[in-house]
Structures are given as C-alpha cells and as structure tokens.
Amino acid sequence: MALSQLLSDNRSGALRQQGRAYRLSLPGDRGEITYSPLLWNLKRCFYSHTARRRRRKKGNSSRQLGSRFHRHVRHFNECSRGHCDCKARFGTGIGRPRSGSPLQQALLQREAFLLDYELTPFASEIVVSSDRLNLATAVDELAWQKPSSQGSKKRLVLISWKTGYSVGARRSRSKKGSSSKMMGSSLSHVVNSEEGQHQLQLLAEDRLLRENGVTPDLAVIVYVLRERDYYVERLREDGFWASEDTASACWQEFSDFCCQHIKRRHKKNRVK
Ligand SMILES: [Zn+2]
C-alpha cells in the first residue's frame, strides 16, 4: 500500500528543482510543498570541509554521461506505457545511444547487472520526501528481485547508479591539514572518501523510504565502469558503519541537524 501510494504521488505530482529547493506539487489537498535537497544537507552535516575535487576523466564528459544515463533509465521505467514524456520534460528526446559509445556501454552494464541479480525494475527517479525533516531526494531505481526459492517472497531492491567513478575511491577528500574523517560525532571514525559519501547517501535514501512506509530488502550502489564490469557495493550497515548502531546513531544525528535548521528558519521568518 505504501509503495503504490508513493508511486502514484510521483506520477501525478510534479517536481521541480529550483536552486537549493525541491518544489513538489502533490495532488489533492496537499498542494505544493518546498523541501530542502537531501545531498546538500548531508554535505553540510558530515563533509562540508571537502575541498579535494574529483579529477574528471579526459573530455570532461562524465557528468554528461551520468545525466544521460539516468534519463535513459527513467525512460525505460516510466515511458514504457506507450507515452514518452522525455521531450516535454528535458527538451530533447531520448535517442538511441551510438554503438560503442560510453553511454551504450553503461546501459549494457546495467542490463547485465539486472540479469545477473534477477531483477525486474519498475520505477525510477522516485521522489521521496519527509515533512518531519523538510527533506526530499529522488532515488535512482527500484526493482523486484525474483524469489530465491519456492514459497519465499520477491524482494524490493533500491539501486543507486554511479557513472564516471573508479571503484575503491577510499582516499580522503578532506582539505589538506584538516581531519581526514567525516564530521559529526557518529561518523568521526569514518574516512571522508567518495565511497563513504556514497554509503551515507544510500543510507539516507533507505531511511527516507522507510519513513514513507517502504522498506527495501536490499540497497546497493552499482558502479558502471568503462574499463571493466559493473561493481556492486551493498549498503554496509555492518561494515562501513561498523554496526547497525552506528547507522542508527548517524541517522539520529542527521535528523537532529535537519530539525534544528527547520526551527532556525521558522525563527528567522517570524522576525521579518
Ligand atoms: Zn521517454
């Protein structure tokens, strides 16, 4: 029930991103609501001292590849009912990727991953929000995994796609001279690496889905790579996060951070 509600809200509501805000128009009496973007808040809470920039691959096209890849993924899921709204949404149609292009390779890797893990995707770019925390983000893709044995249930899988990264980016991204670890008391033992930031983002997406009554059985980051096969990293609540308690403490710390910001903003509005 919660999942179908989330999907129907997404398909009938309109989402716009405006600078640092997500504006989500929901049908019925819920009207338009403005949310703060998840990633921006995560950054402020846990890794705002990041300075070292990721070196982009030659041609500087990895960002472009990422956005085209995500549009294709959305098209596969959302335009399959005979009506393609890509042109209306993005200004250009989806087009067929050139043979041998990085985009085509990335899409083929996605197909291979879905096949290997027996996944049937059914939704992408799903906006997940929290009124409590004044947060919203869009999760990349949701899929059903075939039951592993007769009598067991199909599993809900949350997928976060990453293009243009090299796997094993565990080097700290902190400024020289500052701590190489993340900020915040719950993550003071965690290196501020790309990998750590991706795990943190996935944890937050997982928790926001749960706040909406949707519980993924599995959450994964899938790196699609040019040089080799895709690479899957699970949400490691017991590895990166040391224990389930660390993940809970981290989410609690982040929730407090967001609530404080809401309070502060309300105060500012009153003074005006
Ligand atoms: Zn489309």
Ligand 1 centroid distance, CA of 240 (Å): 37
In a domain, 96, yes or no: yes
Look at residue 256 in the predicted model and tell me its pLDDT. 96
Q: Determine the distance separating the centroid of ligand 1 and the alpha carbon of 67, expressed in angstroms.
A: 14
Binned average pLDDT, 10 residues per bin, the chain of 272 residues? 83 66 67 84 86 51 83 88 82 85 92 96 90 90 93 95 76 72 88 89 96 95 83 79 82 95 71 50
Whole-number Å distance, alpha carbon 69 to ligand 1 midpoint, is 12
Q: Which residues contact 77 (CB under 8 A, 6 or more apart)?
A: 121, 122, 123, 124, 141
H runs (alpha helix) in the chain: 2-12, 38-42, 62-78, 86-90, 102-116, 194-211, 244-271
Structural domain contains residue 3: no
Residue 219 CA, ligand 1 centroid: distance in Å: 26
Based on the structure, what is the number of domains in the chain?
1
Cα(88) to centroid(ligand 1), Å = 9
Residue 20 pLDDT: 65
Centre of ligand 1 from the C-alpha of residue 122, in Å: 14
pLDDT value at residue 139: 93
In a domain, 6, yes or no: no
How close is the Cα of 161 to the center of ligand 1, in Å?
19
Confirm whether 19 is domain-assigned. Answer: no
What spacing in Å lies between the alpha carbon of 84 and ligand 1's midpoint?
4
Cβ atoms of 107 and 76 within 8 Å: the answer is no
CA 78 to ligand 1 center in whole angstroms: 7
* Cα-to-centroid distance, 50 and ligand 1 (Å): 36
Question: 87 alpha carbon to ligand 1 midpoint, in Å?
Answer: 7
In the reported structure, the alpha carbon of residue 12 is separated from the centroid of ligand 1 by a whole-number distance in angstroms of: 16
Task: Establish if 25 belongs to a structural domain.
Answer: no
From CA 196, how far away is CA 4, in angstroms rounded?
31
Sign of CA dihedral 97, 100, 101, 102: positive
State the distance from the centre of ligand 1 to the C-alpha of 72, rounded, in angstroms. 8
124 within a domain of the structure (yes/no)? yes
pLDDT at 29: 66
Give this prediction's pTM: 0.87
pLDDT of residue 238: 63
Q: How far is the CA of 92 from the centre of ligand 1 (A)?
A: 10
CATH number, domain of 76, equals 3.90.320
Ligand 1 centroid, distance to 25 Cα (angstroms): 21
| Pairwise CA distance, residues 85 & 78, whole Å | 9
Let me know: does 174 contact 192? Beta carbons within 8 Å. Answer: yes
In this predicted structure, what is the pLDDT of residue 17? 66
Range of the domain at 103: 36-51+61-271
Q: What are the CA-CA distances from residue 115 to residues 1, 225, 247 (Å)? A: 27, 17, 30
Whether 116 maps to a domain, the answer reads yes
- Residue 72 within a domain: yes
Instruction: Output the CA 150–ligand 1 centroid distance in Å.
Output: 35
Distance 128 CA to ligand 1 centre (A): 21
The predicted pLDDT at position 272 comes to 47
Distance 71 CA to ligand 1 centre (A): 8
Q: What is the pLDDT of residue 48?
A: 81
